[in-house]
Amino acid sequence: MYEDFHVTERWSGEDLHCRWKGTIVAIATRHADAVDVRFDVNGRPMWIALPCTAWVEQKKRSGKVITDHLAAQIAGHYLKQLIEQGYDARREIYTMSVAEVLKHLDAVVAEAKEQGGIPSVPVGVEATG
């Protein structure tokens, strides 16, 4: 779904390849109460920050937690929408609000139900056996 996708940039019409690269807890790296999800967008780093309080709110409202895989999907869904709506390509980090996280989570879960589940990450890693 949103771990590796293409999207057309609103202003230039350019096809952008967005690929999930990793998820880190920002408390240690930039002293923020967030989880940062990194994507490469045509080779350039783009970070989407999800506030940690979104995990608490999701647990309160549904009794379920946001997994690492789901966080990557939420951030990817948000990034796709940003690009389609005309994002500032010079920025390297966008911070989501709790309400945005929950809205995009609901959209991803609904889409995953239609498609039969959320794909696992990491992508591009072949199983050896």
Average pLDDT, the chain: 90
The answer to whether position 19 is within a domain reads yes
- Note down the domain range covering 15: 4-115
Using CB atoms within 10 A of its CB, is residue 9 exposed (0-12), middle (13-18) or buried (19+)? Answer: middle
The answer to whether position 54 is within a domain reads yes
The answer to whether position 120 is within a domain reads no
The answer to whether position 110 is within a domain reads yes
Measured between alpha carbons, how far is residue 78 from residues 24, 85, 95, 121, 124 in Å? 17, 11, 10, 17, 22
Q: Report the pLDDT value the prediction gives residue 127, as an integer from 0 to 100.
A: 45
**pLDDT tens profile 80-97:** 999 999 988 789 999 999
